[in-house]
Amino acid sequence: MNLILLGPPGAGKGTHAQRLMNELGIPQISTGDALRQAVKAGTELGLSAKKYMEAGDLVPDELVIGIVEERLKAPDCQKGYILDGFPRTVKQAEALSRFAKIDVALNLSLADEVIIRRLSGRRVCLKCGGTYHISTLNGRDTCANCGEKLVQRKDDAPETIRNRLSVYAGQTAPLIDYYQQKGLLRTVDCDPDATVEETYDAVRKALDLA
């Protein structure tokens, strides 16, 4: 299955992508993780991307389209993949349609006030992409998967969160209509009070896995 996860920042795309990866045995491709690794490693891509990311703006289309096009050629993508955080503009979606055949675009929808609460308490692992919320960490500051020290992303600062939400509304939300018109859209209305397990069950149902 070639799957796209759509939805605002903090809707749980990364969390559910990791679960789907384990269940379906297909890779999660996160442009956000790839870009953060490039920034950390100080590559040319990382240097170009850094200022956009810290401001909560989108990195230019040309930079991310190339990453995804190359990644999808790898042998582990031949049985399917989960795109997490790409496409994020109509231009990216049009480019994607030239080198990939998408089966489903799953839209995780969530209210703005819930997003702000989630992102401001988020801690991430820059090594494996694991994400956590301070309310469930009980003071622990290392990754449960790989032991790396957890950090707060610079773009999870309150000012930047507001900008990311407006970027999402202006540039990414139009993809909901785009994939609806192609007949590929499925939506999960994420209940903010549900556990991750309960929401993942809704994700599985929407994908006909349940």
Widest CA span in the chain: 46
Please give the residue ranges that form the binding site for ligand ADP (CB under 6 A).
9-10, 13, 31-32, 35, 52-53, 56-59, 64, 85-86, 88, 92, 155, 164
Binding partner selected for residue 130 from Zn ion, ligand ADP, none, CB under the kind-specific 5 to 8 Å limit = Zn ion
Q: Shortest Cβ distance from residue 210 to ligand ADP (Å)?
A: 25
The answer to whether 66 and 96 are in contact (CB under 8 A) is no
List of residues 6+ apart from 29 with CB closer than 8 A:
68, 71, 72, 77, 81, 82, 83, 84, 86
- Position 24 contacts Zn ion (CB under 5 A): no
Interface residues for Zn ion in 106-145 (CB under 5 A)? Answer: 125, 127-128, 130, 143, 145
Of the pair 64, 102, the CB lying nearest ligand ADP is at 64
- Position 58 contacts Zn ion (CB under 5 A): no
DSSP class per residue in 100-141 = ----EEEEEE--HHHHHHHHHTEEE-TTT--EEEHHHHTT--
In the Cβ-directed half-sphere of 37, how many Cα atoms lie within 13 Å?
11
153 in active site? yes
Catalytic residue among 19, 36, 118, 122: 122
Catalytic residue among 13, 19, 36, 118: 13
Catalytic residue ranges: 13, 88, 122, 153, 164
